[in-house]
Amino acid sequence: MTKQEKVNFVINTLEELYPQVKIPLEHKDPYTLLIAVLLSAQSTDVGVNKITPILFEIADNPYDMVKLSIEEIREIIKPVGLSPMKSKGIYGLSKILIEKYNGNVPASLEDLEALPAVGHKTASVVMSQAFNIPAFPVDTHIHRLMYRWGLSNGKNVKQTEKDAKRLFPKDLWNKLHIQIIWYGREYSPARGWNLDKDIITKTIGRKSVIKAYYKNKKTT
Protein backbone atom coordinates (compact mmCIF):
# COMPACT_ATOMS: atom_id res chain seq x y z
CA MET A 1 0.00 0.00 0.00
CA THR A 2 1.12 3.53 -0.72
CA LYS A 3 0.89 6.05 2.12
CA GLN A 4 -2.14 7.63 0.48
CA GLU A 5 -3.85 4.25 0.25
CA LYS A 6 -3.14 3.73 3.94
CA VAL A 7 -4.62 7.12 4.76
CA ASN A 8 -7.72 6.32 2.70
CA PHE A 9 -8.07 2.95 4.45
CA VAL A 10 -7.93 4.64 7.86
CA ILE A 11 -10.52 7.24 6.87
CA ASN A 12 -12.92 4.72 5.33
CA THR A 13 -12.61 2.18 8.16
CA LEU A 14 -13.16 4.78 10.87
CA GLU A 15 -16.17 6.19 9.01
CA GLU A 16 -17.71 2.71 8.83
CA LEU A 17 -17.11 2.08 12.53
CA TYR A 18 -17.97 5.56 13.82
CA PRO A 19 -20.26 7.42 11.40
CA GLN A 20 -21.45 9.54 14.32
CA VAL A 21 -19.03 10.68 17.00
CA LYS A 22 -19.39 12.39 20.33
CA ILE A 23 -16.61 14.00 22.31
CA PRO A 24 -15.96 11.80 25.38
CA LEU A 25 -16.14 14.71 27.84
CA GLU A 26 -19.58 15.85 28.98
CA HIS A 27 -20.17 19.56 28.41
CA LYS A 28 -22.84 22.01 27.27
CA ASP A 29 -20.95 25.04 25.95
CA PRO A 30 -17.42 26.30 25.21
CA TYR A 31 -16.74 27.21 28.85
CA THR A 32 -17.73 23.86 30.32
CA LEU A 33 -15.78 22.09 27.56
CA LEU A 34 -12.70 24.18 28.32
CA ILE A 35 -12.90 23.29 32.01
CA ALA A 36 -13.53 19.61 31.30
CA VAL A 37 -10.57 19.33 28.92
CA LEU A 38 -8.34 21.14 31.40
CA LEU A 39 -9.39 18.66 34.10
CA SER A 40 -8.68 15.68 31.83
CA ALA A 41 -4.90 16.25 31.86
CA GLN A 42 -3.29 13.08 33.25
CA SER A 43 -6.74 11.80 34.17
CA THR A 44 -9.45 9.72 32.53
CA ASP A 45 -12.55 11.02 30.80
CA VAL A 46 -14.64 8.74 33.01
CA GLY A 47 -13.15 10.32 36.11
CA VAL A 48 -13.67 13.84 34.78
CA ASN A 49 -17.29 13.09 33.85
CA LYS A 50 -17.95 12.11 37.46
CA ILE A 51 -16.57 15.40 38.79
CA THR A 52 -17.85 17.99 36.33
CA PRO A 53 -21.56 17.58 37.16
CA ILE A 54 -20.73 18.38 40.80
CA LEU A 55 -18.59 21.38 39.84
CA PHE A 56 -20.95 22.70 37.17
CA GLU A 57 -23.99 22.44 39.44
CA ILE A 58 -22.27 25.10 41.55
CA ALA A 59 -20.47 27.02 38.80
CA ASP A 60 -20.98 26.43 35.08
CA ASN A 61 -19.82 29.88 33.99
CA PRO A 62 -16.85 32.11 34.83
CA TYR A 63 -18.91 34.55 36.91
CA ASP A 64 -20.06 31.84 39.33
CA MET A 65 -16.66 30.15 39.26
CA VAL A 66 -14.81 33.18 40.61
CA LYS A 67 -17.26 33.33 43.51
CA LEU A 68 -15.56 30.16 44.71
CA SER A 69 -12.13 30.23 46.27
CA ILE A 70 -9.25 28.28 44.75
CA GLU A 71 -9.40 26.01 47.79
CA GLU A 72 -13.10 25.30 47.23
CA ILE A 73 -12.50 24.46 43.58
CA ARG A 74 -9.58 22.24 44.55
CA GLU A 75 -11.68 20.31 47.04
CA ILE A 76 -14.28 19.50 44.38
CA ILE A 77 -11.83 18.46 41.66
CA LYS A 78 -9.35 16.64 43.91
CA PRO A 79 -10.30 13.13 42.65
CA VAL A 80 -9.06 13.86 39.10
CA GLY A 81 -5.52 14.66 40.25
CA LEU A 82 -3.21 17.65 39.90
CA SER A 83 -5.84 19.64 41.80
CA PRO A 84 -3.50 22.42 43.06
CA MET A 85 -2.48 23.39 39.53
CA LYS A 86 -5.88 22.81 37.97
CA SER A 87 -7.83 24.76 40.60
CA LYS A 88 -5.54 27.77 40.19
CA GLY A 89 -5.90 27.50 36.43
CA ILE A 90 -9.70 27.29 36.53
CA TYR A 91 -9.98 30.27 38.83
CA GLY A 92 -7.37 32.28 36.93
CA LEU A 93 -8.77 31.69 33.45
CA SER A 94 -12.31 32.40 34.66
CA LYS A 95 -11.15 35.76 36.00
CA ILE A 96 -9.45 36.59 32.69
CA LEU A 97 -12.51 35.58 30.67
CA ILE A 98 -14.59 38.05 32.69
CA GLU A 99 -12.06 40.86 32.57
CA LYS A 100 -10.94 40.49 28.97
CA TYR A 101 -13.67 38.64 27.06
CA ASN A 102 -16.95 39.60 28.77
CA GLY A 103 -17.23 36.09 30.18
CA ASN A 104 -16.93 34.41 26.78
CA VAL A 105 -14.37 31.83 25.66
CA PRO A 106 -12.32 33.28 22.78
CA ALA A 107 -12.39 31.43 19.46
CA SER A 108 -8.67 31.92 18.95
CA LEU A 109 -5.94 29.33 19.47
CA GLU A 110 -3.47 32.00 20.51
CA ASP A 111 -5.87 33.57 23.03
CA LEU A 112 -6.79 30.19 24.48
CA GLU A 113 -3.16 29.12 24.89
CA ALA A 114 -2.51 32.37 26.78
CA LEU A 115 -4.99 31.36 29.49
CA PRO A 116 -3.67 29.80 32.74
CA ALA A 117 -3.25 26.00 32.62
CA VAL A 118 -4.41 25.83 28.99
CA GLY A 119 -1.95 24.06 26.73
CA HIS A 120 -1.95 23.49 22.99
CA LYS A 121 -3.97 20.27 23.10
CA THR A 122 -6.66 21.76 25.34
CA ALA A 123 -6.90 24.85 23.13
CA SER A 124 -7.09 22.68 20.00
CA VAL A 125 -9.94 20.59 21.42
CA VAL A 126 -11.93 23.74 22.23
CA MET A 127 -11.27 25.19 18.78
CA SER A 128 -12.41 22.03 17.01
CA GLN A 129 -15.28 20.88 19.20
CA ALA A 130 -16.68 24.16 20.56
CA PHE A 131 -16.17 26.39 17.53
CA ASN A 132 -15.88 23.87 14.67
CA ILE A 133 -12.61 25.43 13.55
CA PRO A 134 -10.28 22.79 12.03
CA ALA A 135 -7.72 21.52 14.52
CA PHE A 136 -6.11 18.14 15.22
CA PRO A 137 -5.57 17.70 18.98
CA VAL A 138 -3.20 14.80 19.63
CA ASP A 139 -3.70 12.75 22.79
CA THR A 140 -1.94 9.53 23.82
CA HIS A 141 -4.28 7.36 21.69
CA ILE A 142 -3.67 9.33 18.50
CA HIS A 143 0.07 9.51 19.17
CA ARG A 144 0.20 5.73 19.69
CA LEU A 145 -1.92 4.85 16.66
CA MET A 146 -0.21 7.19 14.24
CA TYR A 147 3.03 5.40 15.13
CA ARG A 148 1.53 1.91 14.94
CA TRP A 149 0.05 2.73 11.55
CA GLY A 150 3.37 3.97 10.23
CA LEU A 151 1.98 7.45 9.61
CA SER A 152 4.29 9.24 12.06
CA ASN A 153 7.64 8.47 13.63
CA GLY A 154 6.40 8.68 17.22
CA LYS A 155 9.10 11.19 18.11
CA ASN A 156 6.73 13.57 19.97
CA VAL A 157 3.12 14.76 19.89
CA LYS A 158 4.10 17.94 18.06
CA GLN A 159 5.48 15.92 15.16
CA THR A 160 2.48 13.57 15.24
CA GLU A 161 0.11 16.54 14.95
CA LYS A 162 2.14 17.94 12.06
CA ASP A 163 2.03 14.58 10.25
CA ALA A 164 -1.71 14.14 10.86
CA LYS A 165 -2.46 17.58 9.47
CA ARG A 166 -0.29 16.90 6.43
CA LEU A 167 -1.82 13.50 5.66
CA PHE A 168 -5.52 13.92 6.42
CA PRO A 169 -7.89 16.35 4.65
CA LYS A 170 -8.51 19.48 6.69
CA ASP A 171 -12.28 19.15 6.49
CA LEU A 172 -12.04 15.79 8.30
CA TRP A 173 -9.75 16.82 11.18
CA ASN A 174 -12.42 17.64 13.75
CA LYS A 175 -14.30 14.38 13.31
CA LEU A 176 -11.30 12.20 12.57
CA HIS A 177 -9.37 12.94 15.75
CA ILE A 178 -12.40 11.83 17.81
CA GLN A 179 -12.83 8.72 15.65
CA ILE A 180 -9.18 7.76 16.22
CA ILE A 181 -9.57 8.20 19.99
CA TRP A 182 -12.60 5.90 20.08
CA TYR A 183 -10.83 3.36 17.86
CA GLY A 184 -7.74 3.43 20.05
CA ARG A 185 -9.79 2.76 23.16
CA GLU A 186 -11.84 -0.03 21.61
CA TYR A 187 -9.49 -1.80 19.22
CA SER A 188 -5.91 -0.63 19.75
CA PRO A 189 -5.25 0.13 23.45
CA ALA A 190 -1.81 0.46 24.97
CA ARG A 191 -2.50 -2.49 27.29
CA GLY A 192 -4.43 -5.65 26.55
CA TRP A 193 -3.98 -5.09 22.84
CA ASN A 194 -5.30 -7.80 20.51
CA LEU A 195 -3.88 -7.25 17.04
CA ASP A 196 -6.33 -9.71 15.50
CA LYS A 197 -9.16 -7.33 16.42
CA ASP A 198 -7.21 -4.23 15.36
CA ILE A 199 -8.08 -4.30 11.65
CA ILE A 200 -6.33 -1.04 10.80
CA THR A 201 -2.97 -1.90 12.36
CA LYS A 202 -3.17 -5.46 11.09
CA THR A 203 -3.75 -4.19 7.54
CA ILE A 204 -1.45 -1.17 7.28
CA GLY A 205 0.62 -1.21 10.48
CA ARG A 206 4.33 -0.67 10.83
CA LYS A 207 6.08 -4.01 10.25
CA SER A 208 8.32 -3.62 13.30
CA VAL A 209 5.27 -3.06 15.52
CA ILE A 210 3.48 -6.14 14.21
CA LYS A 211 6.64 -8.24 14.51
CA ALA A 212 7.20 -7.09 18.10
CA TYR A 213 3.58 -7.86 18.97
CA TYR A 214 3.79 -11.49 17.83
CA LYS A 215 7.22 -11.94 19.38
CA ASN A 216 5.92 -10.69 22.73
CA LYS A 217 2.84 -12.89 22.39
CA LYS A 218 5.01 -15.99 22.04
CA THR A 219 7.00 -15.21 25.17
CA THR A 220 3.96 -14.55 27.39
Tens-digit pLDDT profile for residues 108-119: 999 999 999 999
Strand (E) or helix (H) holding 71: helix 70-77
Query: Tens digit of pLDDT for each residue in 161-187?
Result: 999 999 999 999 999 999 999 999 999
Residues of the chain with CATH 1.10.340.30: 30-130
Q: Calculate ∠ Cα 35-140-196, nearest 5°.
A: 135
Q: Is 196 helix (H, G, I), strand (E, B) or coil?
A: helix
Residues 86, 121, 163, 198: which is the catalytic one? 121
Residues of the chain with CATH 1.10.1670.10: 3-20+137-219
For residue 34, give the nearest of 129, 174, 98 by alpha carbon. Answer: 129
Cβ atoms of 81 and 105 closer than 8 Å: no
28 carries an active-site annotation:
no
139 carries an active-site annotation:
yes
CATH class of the region 30-130 = mainly alpha
Indicate whether this model's pTM tops 0.85: yes
> Structurally, what CATH architecture does the domain formed by 3-20+137-219 represent?
Orthogonal Bundle (1.10)
Residues 45, 60, 139, 198: which is the catalytic one? 139
